[in-house]
Structure 1
């Protein structure tokens, strides 16, 4: 009986691992550009499996802010309102741009306890919105503990374009970082032929640079994953540098 119990437990672990999908911090605006006709951007913050449409709980972030033209940070944490994404707690807000510029929105979450992987997950997530067509310095780092600095303009892209970025950890390129890529399958119309196709993976080169071609229109998430030097609450801490980019 003990051998049978152990065998069943091992099988459950294998099956569970085979069906596990990538986690993504998600910061999705309703547009990647603001114009004179649309001056307010609405943003939704969540923590989910974007392709499969499986939500998870996102506690109120430890920080949520924006920069204009990569200048001083504007604290937006108090503007967040509770909502739900994929039937799980999430957050939303809106921001009206008062002048032309490049708006970078960032949230830094409370680390998520993932018992299935015996670790914690901290995905520092950002998205860039171009206000009134004046965004030029889109390849400037924000100065996060880890982040993806785009080498392809992170707005105004066609489906099929290549997206390229460099993963930074503590301000320095992180060579050979594994980058997970996933499509936000919001309407559920896309179907993967098998589980391996849900999350795409690429490796950075020796300079921390990765490249990926996005075949469909919609929002694409890129997560550069590294392990923090120090554990969190006695467990390994996965540090994710996440950026979302829309293909049109």
Structure 2
């Protein structure tokens, strides 16, 4: 029969073991949470911006050759053929329009000339405001990865992939911009990235503008942590110097809207934004910034792998990005449970992601 002294020690160790178990559970939750947050959906174009080509200097018109006159047979003299590289005078090529006949009016005065009808005015206005056309293209990469470890993860095709285009002519309805939208899900092709299944698309750019690429990932089962993850991702691409639209929400259920311009940044740079849930600012939301560690540099602790913050009462946050490269900003909140593989409800972790690129001081100008 154990003595009271021994029983006291056993009770102490039982309480100690319980405390250690509770502490381990808490630390495990932190480790698992950090590990889950380190898994991000990558959405980046092959270049962070598309610059307009430098204007070409106007070529000087070649000197006109003196035409020799054939005094003997002037009727057979022919003008020299125009060279292909010489600019053509469009006005000279158009024949003169015959003057309209003016029939005298009943009082003997000339009738007034006809004025354009109202039906012709919209067509003329449309021609006056014709948008410039460009011929550009780029590739877009979509995959799942751990940015600091620079490791790829298998990813299923997203359930939505589209691009929105803004410019100075984007209409506004009820205070909300109405950008051009193009669905790109059908353009995705399965590729390999970091030795894992990924997705890519070649996107044609036919007009200048501010392009916002957006995807909605499918909920995927995280067996290691017994829950689902779902990401709403977007990134911006300025084309030919257009920047209108970078501060506008795109209407995702869970979204990060920049407060500071997310391109044209040089490290160290400040990035600020607002977290929206169903279009409303989300207070006290967890937000992290992680950079793709392509160099696979080591850091003193795991806390140095990303930067963490929480939103204020207005859903706002700010970070200082101290290194060049691609950065991912991700806000996380719990969502509605989904049916798990065993048929029972399982937790859902939702993530709103925003990708942006930061240049270095030594970056060369992007020339065309």
TM over 0.5: yes
User: Can you give the 5+ residue segments of structure 1 that lack an aligned partner in the other structure?
Assistant: 1-6
Q: Give 1:124 shift.
A: 0.7
- Who is 2:42 aligned against? 26
Write out aligned runs for 1:188-227 (5 A): 188=296, 190-227=297-334
Please point out which of 106, 112, 132 is paired with 2:214: 106
- Who is 1:88 aligned against? 196
The structure with the larger Rg is: 2
Write out aligned runs for 1:143-182 (5 A): 143-182=251-290
Q: 8 Å contact 1:149–1:168 — kept in the other structure?
A: yes
1:53 aligns with 2:150: yes
Instruction: Determine which structure has the larger strand proportion and give its number.
Output: 1
RMSD (Å) for aligned C-alpha atoms:
2.3
Q: Give 1:136 shift.
A: 1.5
CA displacement, residues 142-167 of structure 1 (integer Å, 9 cap, x when unaligned): 00011100001111111111000000
Measured in 2, the distance between the counterparts of 1:33 and 1:232 equals 39
Identify which range, 84-93 or 55-64, moves more after superposition. 84-93
Name segments (4+ residues, structure 1) moved above 6 Å.
10-17
Q: Give 1:117 shift.
A: 2.3
CA displacement, residues 36-83 of structure 1 (integer Å, 9 cap, x when unaligned): 459322211011111111221110111111100161421100111111
Measured in 1, the distance between the counterparts of 2:331 and 2:181 equals 23
- Who is 2:183 aligned against? 75
- Who is 1:245 aligned against? 356
Number of corresponding residues: 239
TM-score by length of 2: 0.61
Measured in 2, the distance between the counterparts of 1:14 and 1:202 equals 19
Measured in 2, the distance between the counterparts of 1:35 and 1:50 equals 27
For 1:196, what is the secondary structure of its paired residue?
Answer: helix
- Who is 1:235 aligned against? 346
For 2:303, what is the secondary structure of its paired residue?
Answer: helix
For 1:33, what is the secondary structure of its paired residue?
Answer: coil
User: Can you give the 5+ residue segments of structure 2 that lack an aligned partner in the other structure?
Assistant: 1-19, 54-134, 167-177, 340-344, 360-368
Q: 8 Å contact 1:34–1:40 — kept in the other structure?
A: no
CA displacement, residues 76-126 of structure 1 (integer Å, 9 cap, x when unaligned): 001111112222111111212111111000111111211222211111111
- Who is 1:40 aligned against? 137
